[in-house]
């Protein structure tokens, strides 16, 4: 029979898996409390980093419909639940792991798709959502400007051609 405190912990973890865009599993062996506090701050506002019990977290992930993480629940495990931009949190984890080799990224899940540790590092190399949207908007604006110039060039070229023909006709008419 499950104890009420364990059932509550599983329910809370299940809800965190369901409400998160992404979850990243890490091994934190050898990190101090101060380093964990620094790590939590580096993940950004939209991520929660929690040290978890493997058995309870595995049950919660399965209840949330995530079965691809089962192999990662071994050793001391902590989970970063990301509710905002996953790129920002992945960058925070990557940068912290560079300075603190005791932090090992095991893998994770993004929108229901399993990610390996290498894929999370690739995600960290992406620019943030806002930067990508700004670049897209800039590219679209540039294409609109080119299209406007093209559409404006056609009538003006037609007018210049008609003026040249009129001048030629006037020239030939005046020469006779």
Query: To 10 degrees, the CA torsion angle through 100, 120, 27, 130?
Result: 70
| Same-domain status, 24 and 90 | yes
Write out the residue range of the structural domain in which residue 169 sits. Answer: 129-175
Residue 1 has pLDDT above 50, yes or no: no
Quick one: 150 and 112 in the same domain?
Answer: no
Say if residues 31 and 103 touch (Cβ distance below 8 Å).
yes
Residue at which a domain ends, from 91, 107, 126: 126
Are 11 and 45 in the same domain?
yes
- pLDDT digit string, tens, across residues 66-82: 888 888 888 888 898 98
Q: Residue 166 pLDDT > 70, yes or no? A: yes
| 108 and 138 inside one domain | no
Of the pLDDT bands very low, low, confident and very high (cuts 50, 70, 90), residue 10 is confident
CB proximity list for 167: less than 8 A, separation 6 or greater: none
Predicted confidence (pLDDT) at residue 63 exceeds the cutoff of 80:
yes
Domain count, the chain: 2
Q: What CATH number is associated with residue 120?
A: 3.30.70.1730
Is the sign of the CA dihedral 90, 94, 99, 101 positive or negative?
positive
């Amino acid at each position: 029979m499950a104890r009420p405190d364990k059932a509550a912990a599983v329910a809370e973890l299940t809800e965190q898996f369901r409400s998160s865009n992404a979850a990243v599993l890490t091994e934190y062996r050898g990190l101090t409390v101060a380093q964990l506090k620094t790590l939590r701050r580096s993940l950004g506002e939209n991520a929660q980093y929690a040290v978890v019990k493997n058995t309870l977290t595995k049950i919660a992930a399965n209840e949330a419909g995530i079965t691809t993480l089962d192999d990662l629940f071994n050793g001391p495990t902590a989970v970063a639940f990301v509710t905002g931009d996953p790129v920002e949190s992945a960058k925070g984890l990557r940068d912290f792991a560079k300075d603190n080799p005791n932090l090992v990224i095991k893998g994770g899940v993004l929108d229901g798709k399993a990610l390996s540790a290498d894929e999370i590092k690739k995600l960290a190399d992406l620019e943030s959502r806002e930067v990508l949207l700004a670049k897209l908007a800039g590219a679209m604006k540039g294409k609109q400007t080119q299209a406007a110039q093209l559409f404006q060039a056609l009538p003006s070229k037609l007018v210049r051609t008609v003026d040249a023909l009129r001048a030629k006709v006037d020239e030939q008419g005046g020469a006779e």
